Amino acid sequence: MDIQTETKWHPLLSDPSDSRRPKPRETGRTMIMDKGLGPNAFQDLLSTSGPYIDLIKFGFGTSPLYPIPMLKAKIASAKAHGIGAFPGGTLLEAAVRLDVTDAFFRSALELGFDAIEVSDGTIDLDRQTRDALVREAGEYGFRVFTEYGKKLTGSRISLDDLCLTAERDLQCGAEAVTIEARESGVGVGLFDEDGKCREEELQQIVRRFPDADRLMWEAPQKEQQALLLRTLGPDVNLGNVSPQDAFSLETLRRGLRSDTFALHRMIAHYEI
């Protein structure tokens, strides 16, 4: 045996789904929610799961609580791994309420964030203001992700409203529209009070929305991720994933876990 030969797994075992693409990806994106990881834990996350993470959201309003050097270092590390970084939409909602949106955008840019989330999960935004925020973020050079839905427990998806909102957001320059499920995935949007998916509503959304690849589904629970992958395929965009679940979600995407074993593509073009 040649000791110089690189050891590697057979391609079919690395990705039985035969679907995963390298970054940057436009589909099959995974967005992680960071709720306060320390520098060492953050580096550990990137060293193991960096290739499988596309976006990191610094959840809700956590960004101003960090020492500035630490926050800048985390953002720079994420970007060095090809991962987009953005503050949670709740922080922009606070900036809107306090009438300091220009200062918010300038600070986000100076800190090194390369994306922004525009949402109205807590406040109410009229359509004109939402349009203006999406466009202003784009003018600053940010990638823009918007979010549809309220954070209040019991909030449901209005199919017509979702379609109108998403289509308008995309026209204004949003890269993708995220469907709200909070960090719990319980009792909000697509998921009921037990965290179960309202599958009929999911099918209605997929049928009605012509550009489903530009939707991102917040799905913090493993069962929710598995169902969306089985229903929509390994290229579905998933968000609000816990950092500790980034690695295991990738196994779900590739069919390397029993929950999504059916994603295997039994193909013949590899040499056995």
- Residue 264 pLDDT grade (very low, low, confident, very high; cuts 50, 70, 90): confident
> For position 77, which CATH number holds?
3.20.20.70
Report the alpha-carbon distance of residue 49 to residue 247 in Å, rounded: 6
What is the tens place of the pLDDT at every residue in 68-85?
999 999 999 999 999 999
Report the alpha-carbon distance of residue 65 to residue 42 in Å, rounded: 16
Report the alpha-carbon distance of residue 49 to residue 56 in Å, rounded: 12
Give the pLDDT confidence score for residue 272 in this predicted structure.
Answer: 33
Question: Comparing 214 with 266, which gets the higher pLDDT?
Answer: 214
Retrieve residue 1's tokens.
Answer: 């045996």
Does any domain span residue 14? no
Does any domain span residue 205? yes
Give the pLDDT confidence score for residue 238 in this predicted structure.
Answer: 97
Does any domain span residue 4? no
What is the tens place of the pLDDT at every residue in 130-166?
999 999 999 999 999 999 998 888 889 999 999 999 9
Domain count within the chain: 1
Give the pLDDT confidence score for residue 136 in this predicted structure.
Answer: 98
Question: Comparing 94 with 185, which gets the higher pLDDT?
Answer: 94
Does any domain span residue 62? yes
Q: Which domain holds residue 98?
A: 22-263
Give the pLDDT confidence score for residue 268 in this predicted structure.
Answer: 40
Give the pLDDT confidence score for residue 182 in this predicted structure.
Answer: 86
Does any domain span residue 15? no
Helix extents (H) in the chain:
11-14, 39-49, 68-80, 89-98, 101-111, 127-139, 159-171, 199-208, 222-232, 246-254
- 267 beta partners: none
Single pTM value for the model: 0.92
Give the pLDDT confidence score for residue 47 in this predicted structure.
Answer: 97
Q: Is the pLDDT of residue 269 over 50?
A: no
Give the pLDDT confidence score for residue 185 in this predicted structure.
Answer: 84
Does any domain span residue 13? no
- Give the full edge-to-edge strand order of the sheet including 237-241: 84-87, 55-58, 30-34, 237-241, 215-218, 176-179, 143-148, 115-118
Identify the CA nearest to 36 among candidates 11, 60, 3.
60
Does any domain span residue 6? no
- Residue 3 pLDDT grade (very low, low, confident, very high; cuts 50, 70, 90): low
Does any domain span residue 147? yes
